[in-house]
A and B are shown apart, each in its own frame.
Chain A
Amino acid sequence: MATFNLNINGKTQSVDIDPATPILWVLRDHLDLVGTKYGCGIAQCGACTIIMDGNAVRSCSIPVSAAEGTKITTIEGLSEKVDHPVQKAWMEHDVPQCGYCQAGQIMSAVALLENNPNPTDEDIDNAMNGNICRCGTYVRIKKAIKTAANS
C-alpha cells in the first residue's frame, strides 16, 4: 500500500492503494468515476481510454504508480455542461447503440483532435483503431469526429 496524489479532471485526489493497481480500477472502484469502462484488461479494446498528459492511453494497463504527477482527464471531466464539441457531435449524430464502448471512443477522439485538429480519414482510422465497438457504430463515429473537427 502507498498513497498517491492524482490530478484527475482538474482535482487532486488522494488514494491509499497497491501501487500496481491499474488506473482503471482506481477510477472505478475507489473514486466512483465509472464512466471509464473495463473491456479486456490487456490494452486491446479501448473501453478504458483516458487522456493522460494530452495522450489517449489505456487505463487498464497503466499502474497507479505511473500516474502521479500527470494530468488525467476522464469522460466525466470533459465538460461541465455537456458542451465539449466531441460530446455535442456524438449527440448530433446519435452515435451510441449500447453505448458501452463510447466513453473510450470519445476520449480517443478528443485526444486525436487535440493533437490533430483536421484529421484525414486515415488519421481517424489510425487513432481510433484501438477502440472496438461490437455494435458497429464506426461509420457514425467517423462522421461525428469530422463534425467536431469542423466546429
Chain B
Amino acid sequence: MNPTSEKLNRRSFLKVSALAGGGLFLSVGWLAGCKPDSKEDLLGMPEEWIRINGFIRIGDNGLITIMSPNPEGGQNVKTGMPMIVAEELDADWPKVLVEQAPLDTDNFTRQFIGGSQAIRMGWNVLRNAGATARQLLVNAAAQTWNVPASEITTKMGMIYHQGSGKKAHYGEMASLAATLPLPENVQLKEQKAYTIIGTSRKNVDAKNIVTGKPLFGIDYKKEGMLIAMIIHPPAHGMRLKSFDDSKARNLPGIREIFPIKSHEDGYERTFFDTTSFTDLVAIVGNSTWEVLNAKKAVSVEWENFGTYQEKRDWNGRKEMRTIPGGLESEPEQLAKMNDVASKAKTVRKDGNPEMAFRNASKVIERTYNGPFLAHNCMEPMNFFAHINGNQVHCAGPLQKPELTEQALSTRLGIPIENIEIEMTRLGGGYGRRSYAHWLIEAAVISQKVNAPIKLMYSREDDMTGGIYRPMYQATYRAALDKDNNLIGFHVNAGGLVEPPIYPDRFPAGAVENYWVEEWTVSSNITVGSFRAPRSNFIAAAEQSFLDEIAEEIGKDPIDFRLELLKRAKENPVGENNDYDPERYAGVLELVKAKSKWGQNQAGISRGVSAYFCHNSYAAQVLDLRIENGQVKVEKVTQALDCGLLINPDAAKNLCEGAVVDAIGTAMFGELKFNQGVPDKNNFDRYRMIRMGEAPKAIDTYFVESQVDPTGLGEPGYPSVFAALANALYQANGKRLYQQPFAPQLT
C-alpha cells in the first residue's frame, strides 16, 4: 500500500468531516484575507465543505480546496504541489483554491523545504492523494447510479457515465465518497494523459502579492500581540556578561527587558539546531519603533568565552564537537585552513594518482577561495509565538517546521500534541530558515511575558546573527602527459566549518587516476545550508579549473567536458559515480546548440560551465561585454534537466532567479571577520545585485524528459559562478580564483 493511503487510514479517513459554510474560513481566520477571491466571486462559496483526505476538500458546489503541504519560499511549490494533486484528481484547475496546510504530521509527510526535494519527495504522495480521491468519487457515482465503476469516466471536475448519459460534478458525490472504504489500488495516469502537469499555471498567490496582502510571517498579527526584539553579542566568540536597562526600561511603550536562553546548557542539538548565540537580551514593547529605540538604549557587557564542547545528534550520529574560544580574524582563519589542508584525509582514490603526477609532463595547480556569505533573505527573521499555559501557538516563516517542533517541545517542556505551528509564506529561505532558533527565542519570550508576541530581527540582527555559508578553499591539480592527455586529477578541499567536496561527482569516473582529499577547520563562527550547499562553491572552483585545463591543452571547453563524460559513460573509472554522464552531456549539448556556441560576436566574451547537484543537471553559457570598466552581462543561455516539468513557466522563473542570484553572489557576496565581528551588517556595505547589473536576457531551456521530477531550486545556481568567471577571463585575460570577483576587476 502506498504511504498516503496508509497514513490516511490511520487517521480514520472514512469519517466525514463536513464543515458548515464559511466554517473553514473561521477556523483559519488568518488565511481568510489571503484567499484568491476572484474564484470565490466566480463560483460563490459552497454551503458545505467535505473533507475527502488530508489534501482535498470538496465543496457541495464543486469548488475544490487543495492543501499545499510544504512551506512556500518562492520556489512556487504552493502552485506546483497542488497541481500534481489536481492532475490525478482530474480537477478543473480554475475551480481549485489552494490553502497552505499547517504543520500536521498526521496528515502530511516531509513538510519541509530544502535540498530541492519538495516536489521530488512529494511526487508519489501527491499523485496518490489525488488519484485516491478521484477513485472514491467514481465509486460514489457508481453506487448512486447503480452502474459499474469501470464504466465511469471523469474530466475537469465532472463525472460521466456514457451508457446512461448520467453526469454529476464532484460536489454532488463528495459526501458519499467520504464515507466509502478506501480503494485497494488506484491507477495513476500515464504521463501522456496529463492536462495540468506540464502546463504553465500562474502563481496561486500572485494576486495577494501584488495587492500587499498579509502573507508573510512579519505581517502576522493577533489581538494583544506585543513586539519583541533581541540583542545578541557583537562578535562570535563572545557571550552575555551583564546588561543595564535603566535608560531603556522607562521609554514609552516598553513592557519588559530581560535575558533569555534559547537552549539550556548541555542541550543535545539535533541537525538544524544551530544557534550562534544562546544568551540574549530580549526587549518587549508595544510597537516596533519603540522597541528599536529601547534596544539602542540598553547597555550590554559582553565577555569572551573559552573553548567548550557541544553535544550534537546528526540524524542519529552522536558527536561531541569542540567549539574553540577566541575572536577570529580572516588572516588567521586562512592560515589555519592552509595548515589543516596539508593534513587532509583521502575520501576517494582511483588508480595511482601519485604516480600519474610523478610521470606527468605538465602539472597545473590552482587554489580557489570562497568567503562566508550571509543569506540576506529580504524578509528578516521573525516569528509569532503565544505560549498560553500548556498550549503553544506559533506562526511564521520556516523551512523545516517538522524538525523545529521537536526542539521547541524539548525547550518548553510542553508535549508536541499541544504545539500548533502555522506556516506563513517565507520572504526567502535559501537555507537560512532551516535553522529556526528565532522560533525558540520567540516562544521563550512569550512564555516569560505571558502574552502573544512577534519577535522581529532588525536587518543588522539578521546579517550579523551567524549561520553563514562556510568559508571554503580548494586546491586542484591536473596531470597532463606529453600528448596533453589528462592522466591525473587531484583535489584537496575543505572549509570552515565543513568541507565542500562531493567525491563521487564529475569528473570522478572520467579520469584514470583520481584523488580527493578533504579537511575541516573548527570555528565558533556558525555555518549552515546556503542555496545549493557545498556545490555553490565547489562548482565554481571545479568548472573554472576545467576551463583552464581545456585552454592549456587547446580544446574547446564544451568538447573537453563532453569527452570526459563520454569516458565516464562508456568506461567509467571507479565505483559509485553519483551522476548520469548521459544526462550531464545532454544539458551541455543543448546549451551548445541554443547558445550557438562557436559563433563569436564582436565585443562579446563567452564562458561556459555545467554542474550536477540535487538530482538535476544544469549548464550555462554566459555572454558579457566590458563597457567603461563595467561588466554588462548581455545574455545567459541555460539548459536544465530536472526530469518531468510540473509548471514550466514557474520553473523558468526559478532558474532565471538562480542565474541572477549567482551572478550577484559571485561578484559581490562576502562577509569577513575581524576579531569575531562580521565586517558588514546591512545593505549599505553588503552589496547585492541590482537591476542594472542583472543580465539583459536569460534564455532557459529544459531537456524533455519522462523521468520523475527532481529538484530545481538549487541546481541552476552553482554552475553560473564559473560561467561568469570563464567569460570574464575571455574578456580581460585574468583568471579569477577568489570570490567575490568585483573587487578584482577594477
Contacts from A to B (Cβ < 8 Å) = 1, 18, 20-22, 25, 28-30, 32-42, 44-45, 47, 74-76, 78, 82, 87, 90-91, 94-103, 106, 121, 124-126, 128-142
Contact = CB atoms under 8 A, between A and B. Distances in A.
Contacts of B448: none
A22 to B, nearest CB: 7
Given A94-B202, A102-B209, 9 more contacts: A29-B289, A35-B211, A35-B213, A41-B458, A42-B683, A91-B210, A97-B653, A136-B664, A137-B656
- Which 9 interchain pairs have the tightest Cβ spacing? A35-B212, A136-B660, A100-B427, A98-B74, A75-B212, A97-B74, A125-B692, A136-B657, A138-B694
B330 interface: no
A20 to B, nearest CB: 8
Interface residues on B, range: 35 or more
Task: Pick from B209, B426, B682, B684 the residue with the most CB of A within 10 Å.
Answer: B209
Contacts of B697: 139
B287 A25 contact: yes
B289 A134 contact: no
B209 A139 contact: no
A99 B215 contact: yes
A99 B427 contact: yes
28 contacts: A1-B252, A18-B290, A25-B287, A32-B221, A39-B379, A40-B684, A41-B682, A42-B684, A44-B684, A45-B688, A82-B211, A90-B209, A91-B202, A91-B207, A96-B203, A96-B205, A97-B653, A98-B427, A128-B691, A130-B690, A131-B690, A131-B691, A132-B690, A133-B660, A134-B378, A137-B660, A138-B690, A139-B656
Contact of A37 (B218, B682, B692): B218
B210 A90 contact: yes
A112 B252 CA distance: 39
Nearest to A33: B212
Nearest to A28: B288
A142 B210 contact: no
A39 B380 contact: yes
Interface string B596-632: 0000000000000000000000000000000000000
Contacts, number: 189
Nearest to A91: B206
B691 A125 contact: yes
Given A39-B459, A138-B691, A97 B76 contact: yes
B289 A25 contact: yes
A45 B683 contact: yes
B635 to A, nearest CB: 10
Contacts of A42: 459, 682-684
A97 B692 contact: no
B378 A129 contact: no
Nearest to A29: B287
B686 to A, nearest CB: 9
A38 B218 contact: yes
Nearest to A26: B289
Contact of B203 (A21, A82, A94): A94
B698 interface: yes
Nearest to B207: A82
Interface in B282-332: 287-290, 292
Nearest to B656: A139
Contacts of A129: 690-692
Nearest to A136: B660
Task: Pick from A28, A136, A140 the residue with the most CB of B within 10 Å.
Answer: A136
Interface string B552-586: 00000000000000000000000000000000000
Contacts of A142: 691
Task: Pick from A74, A99, A139, A140 the residue with the most CB of B within 10 Å.
Answer: A99
Task: Pick from A32, A40, A128 the residue with the most CB of B within 10 Å.
Answer: A40
A18 B684 contact: no
Nearest to A36: B212
Nearest to B215: A99
B428 A136 contact: no
A31 B427 CA distance: 22
Task: Pick from A35, A38, A98 the residue with the most CB of B within 10 Å.
Answer: A98
A135 to B, nearest CB: 5
Given A34-B212, A41-B458, A42-B684, A134 B691 contact: no
A73 B459 CA distance: 25
B287 A87 contact: no
B488 to A, nearest CB: 38
Contact of B378 (A29, A98, A130): A98
A103 B428 CA distance: 15
Nearest to B378: A100
A72 B269 CA distance: 48
A139 B212 CA distance: 21
A94 B205 contact: no
Interface in B660-717: 660-661, 664, 682-684, 688-692, 694-698
Nearest to B377: A134
Given A82-B207, A132-B683, A139-B698, A18 B459 contact: no
Contacts of A1: 252
Contacts of B206: 90-91, 94, 96
B656 A22 contact: no
B490 interface: no
B609 to A, nearest CB: 17
Contact of B426 (A91, A98, A124, A125): A98
B430 interface: yes
Nearest to A141: B691
A137 B379 contact: no
Contacts of B654: 97
A99 B656 contact: no
Given A22-B289, A41-B458, A101 B653 contact: no
A136 B656 contact: yes
Nearest to A75: B212
Contacts of A30: 287
A94 B651 CA distance: 11
B157 interface: no
Contacts of A28: 288
A101 B212 contact: no
A139 B425 CA distance: 23
A103 B205 CA distance: 13
Task: Pick from A20, A33, A41 the residue with the most CB of B within 10 Å.
Answer: A41
B721 interface: no
B228 interface: no
Contacts of A95: 653
B216 interface: yes
Contacts of A90: 206, 209-210
Nearest to A21: B289
A40 B457 CA distance: 10
A94 B214 CA distance: 19
Interface string B244-276: 000000001000000000000000000000000
Contacts of A22: 289
B524 interface: no
Contacts of A25: 287-289
A28 B227 CA distance: 12
B689 A136 contact: yes
